[in-house]
A and B are shown apart, each in its own frame.
Chain A
Amino acid sequence: MYGFEPNEEQQMLVEAIGRYAANDLQPGAHDADEEGGWAPDVIEKGWQLGVLQASLPEAFGGFGEHSAVTGALAAEALAFGDLAGALAVMSPSAFALPVLMAGSDEQKTTWLPQVVEAEWKPYAAAVVEPSFNFTPKDLKTAALKDGDGYTLTGEKIYVPFADQAPALLVYASLDGQTEAFIVPGDAEGLTIGERDQLLGIHALPTYHIGLQDVHVEAAARLDGGEPGMALPLAASQVGTAAMAVGMSQAAHEYALAYAKDREAFGKAIAQKQSIAFMLAEMAIEIEAIRLMVWEAAWQLDQGLAEAPKSAYLALMGAADMAMMVTDRAVQILGGHGYIREHPVERWMRNGRGVANLVGLTLV
């Protein structure tokens, strides 16, 4: 059967996150962007909503079960508040959910409780590499078999909180296949480089890292299920796409309210079809991609073979949608949209990043 309504539990979660997004993230997003980070107490408050905790079973320190659909709803609601804030709060999911999805029981028991017990901790994933045609399907960071373990060498960027992370999930190519390795933050050969200076998501501190012959044990490679990281990467595409939907929804609502308020030539600019049609098309675009995100998430939950393709298409659509919607939001505000007092220029900068944020969050 088809269904297009979150269940009661999901609805409650979305409402709780909605309050956090509206009361904490949106009001603080401007300053966080200017200052280059979110205050730890805001991140902690978001963490206490329990999105990741509710995705893990009790045996591994959580109190629920993994659902990509629920995760997508949560990611959308968080990013409605702020994309960088959402990525910060959910950064540990980029470490924990691949362990849950692709790790062995031993790896889950070892790592998951550490991540989710008590307060937010800066666990993160290192996926993206400094290359114009980067793709997680063809990584330059290499893993070589080395005795019982592996040696990792390469360069990563866009690694959130790398300077404080207790451990990172490093994606690397092993015999041509993308695999993930748990690397402690203090591993020998791991160097934390400069903080990335990006077009957007300024409130998320991300770093260059270098891996020079970093040796890890055999147990560091996620090896619980099928080989490769196809499913966690699909879950990441869905999560990023869901965040793009939430952020775009915020941009749309802001531009819509502004257009109803702002008058020109004797009436609200929203009363002119040139503006009203833009707003209508933005709403249609957002809803269309939201449904693709939900479907891909549902397919992941059902374990369907087409899930990775759907997740990829959802993210391709979401990246275009986010750029279209956020660009138009700036356009509707006119010159005011270009001024940093209004959030639309920030959404536009964040919007362009969607396609690059591979592996930074998972659902």
Chain B
Amino acid sequence: MIEFSMPDSIKKTVTMVEAVAENMMRPTSREFDDNEHEIPWDYINFTHEAMSAMGGGSLAPTDEGKPKDRPSIAYQRLAYMIETLSWGDAGMYLCTPGGGLGAAAVEATGTPEQKARFLERFQGDKPVFAAMAMTEPQAGSDTSAIRTSAVRDGDEWVLNGEKIFITAGHKSMEDTPGFVVVWATIDPKAGRKGMRPFVVEAGTPGATITKLEHKLGIRVSDTASMVLQDCRVPFENILGSPEVETESTKGFKGAMATFDATRPLVAASAMGIARGALELFKDLLAQEGIEIRYGLPRSRLSNLEREVIDMEVMLHSAWLLVLKAVWMADQRKANAVASSMAKVRAGDVVVKITQRTVELMGPLGYSRDLLLEKWFRDAKINDLYEGTGQINRLIVARRILGYSRRELD
């Protein structure tokens, strides 16, 4: 069935989230952007309480309140929530307590025992964070080039290496009793086949947060470096099999499965920024008495009308790709291509829209009096993290061409 009505229960959720975005995020957006690495505890504590009241301590897919005879809308709801929070402030959304990418990795590759052990902490009285550590100084998109090693020693794993660009890494290891899922190799000669995720909990000796990055945007979100020096974790902290399979690349596929689930959610975050920028731009035009006339051919439109209409097409078509990708996740359909399509388009669109709105508002757009320039800076991360636009193009291209990694590299 082809239909496009927003489910009522998602509408209710969005109304609640909108109140947070409008009253708690927007008013402090500028302040936290100016004071990089200040922690927005009011937002964190409030959202933790709100999410706990709804039954979970994380922003995670939930079908709470859905009629039982209808298919799941959990990922759809989550995409709407993330879009709305990012409309409020995309950096602060990344400070939402809970498991984030770390918990997603545990969900995707952990055993039931591991899920119980590691995920319970998000249900407590206090907000807790978790993060994912993949990138290394010499290994970005080419995740198979990671060097962090895990060597078995009796009933422990010994981890050595350096991880960078860990979103919420400081909050997960220093500010709250959380954890970081660290990707390491158990056999450097095995390439992807040797890659495994390990849960490194806050307070583990040998795991040190060494640096917080100073960034173009999303400055309220901490982006941490972590050094692992003879860092010992229990044997049971490995997610997935401790053996190097010869026939498959399960470890790597585990990482990729996590990304399939989270890519459309990153795209949803991009959409929130883009919508915020376009809405403000239209409001500012309206204040100047400029009305957008729809329905006319380009030859009859003013340049501003053309720009707004083009941006609306970009924004909405990208949003529909996001919705389709999360709908497929809810339907348990393989959505790797749809996810990457949504991510490519969302990354492109948010960058274009935020760049154009700054340009079209002239001296005011470039000024820090408005948030447009902040969103211009925040936007770009969406074209970079969770797979750059180019990596996601490669994923789409391989899939539509039926090519392997070797055939198209």
Contacts and interface: CB of A to CB of B under 8 A. Distances in A.
Contacts of B345: 284, 288
Interface stretch (B134-142, B369-377, B391-399): B391-399
A260 B397 CA distance: 12
Interface in B354-386: none
A298 interface: yes
A271 B403 contact: yes
Contacts of B327: 2-4
B70 interface: yes
Contact of B401 (A133, A260, A292, A299): A260
A155 B393 CA distance: 48
A92 interface: no
A294 interface: yes
Nearest to B392: A280
Nearest to B315: A313
B268 to A, nearest CB: 14
A313 B313 contact: yes
B4 A2 contact: yes
A277 B388 CA distance: 13
B319 to A, nearest CB: 9
A10 B6 CA distance: 22
Nearest to A297: B2
B2 A4 contact: yes
A312 B295 contact: yes
Interface in A202-217: none
Given A279-B401, A280-B393, A313-B313, A294 B297 contact: no
A317 B313 contact: yes
Given A7-B1, A276-B394, A355-B297, A287 B341 contact: yes
Contact of A312 (B70, B73, B294, B390): B294
Contacts of A89: none
Contacts of A281: 344, 393
Given A2-B4, A295-B4, A313-B309, A270 B403 contact: yes
B401 A298 contact: no
Given A5-B2, A284-B341, A292 B313 contact: yes
A293 to B, nearest CB: 10
Contact of B400 (A69, A283, A289): A283
A309 B4 contact: no
A260 B71 CA distance: 39
> Taking each of B327, B390, B396, which has the highest tally of chain A beta carbons within 10 Å of its own beta carbon?
B396
Interface string A169-194: 00000000000000000000000000
Contact of B396 (A135, A283, A291, A295): A283
A276 B70 contact: no
B299 A277 contact: no
A177 B318 CA distance: 35
Contacts of B35: none
A284 B341 CA distance: 6
A279 B400 contact: yes
Interface in B35-84: 70-71, 73, 76
B317 A280 contact: no
B408 interface: yes
Interface in B5-47: 5-7
Contacts of A149: none
Nearest to A358: B297
Contacts of A256: 400-401
Nearest to A295: B4
Contacts of B71: 1
A186 B327 CA distance: 53
A134 interface: yes
Nearest to B330: A2
A69 B344 contact: no
Interface string A96-111: 0000000000000000
A231 B2 CA distance: 20
Interface string A284-322: 100111011011011100100000110011001100100
B3 A298 contact: yes
A137 interface: yes
A233 to B, nearest CB: 9
Nearest to A257: B401
B344 A284 contact: yes
Contacts of A317: 313, 317
Contact of A295 (B320, B403, B408): B320
A13 B70 CA distance: 26
A271 B313 CA distance: 31
A280 B297 contact: no
A1 B73 contact: yes
Contacts of B230: none
B312 interface: yes
Interface string B304-338: 00000110110011101101100110000000000
B341 A1 contact: no
Nearest to B66: A1
Given A284-B341, A284-B344, A309-B294, A135 B393 contact: no
A36 interface: no
A27 interface: no
B341 A273 contact: no
Contacts of A40: none
B141 to A, nearest CB: 13
Nearest to B70: A1
B294 to A, nearest CB: 5
A279 B312 CA distance: 24
Contacts of A302: 5
A277 B389 CA distance: 10
Contacts of B298: 316, 355
A309 B316 contact: no
B153 interface: no
A227 interface: no
Contact of A270 (B1, B5, B408): B408
Contacts of A277: 390, 393-394, 397
A34 to B, nearest CB: 30
A238 B397 CA distance: 29
A6 interface: yes
A317 B345 CA distance: 14
Ranked nearest first, the 5 interchain pairs of A and B with the lowest CB-CB distance are A288-B317, A291-B320, A276-B397, A280-B396, A317-B313
Given A133-B299, A135-B295, 10 more contacts: A3-B327, A133-B297, A133-B300, A271-B403, A277-B393, A280-B400, A288-B341, A288-B345, A308-B295, A309-B294
22 contacts: A6-B1, A7-B1, A69-B2, A133-B299, A134-B297, A137-B295, A271-B407, A271-B408, A273-B397, A276-B393, A277-B397, A280-B394, A287-B341, A288-B317, A291-B324, A294-B2, A294-B4, A295-B4, A312-B294, A313-B294, A313-B309, A316-B309
Interface of A: 1-7, 10, 69, 132-135, 137, 256, 259-260, 270-271, 273, 276-277, 279-281, 283-284, 287-289, 291-292, 294-295, 297-299, 302, 308-309, 312-313, 316-317, 320, 355
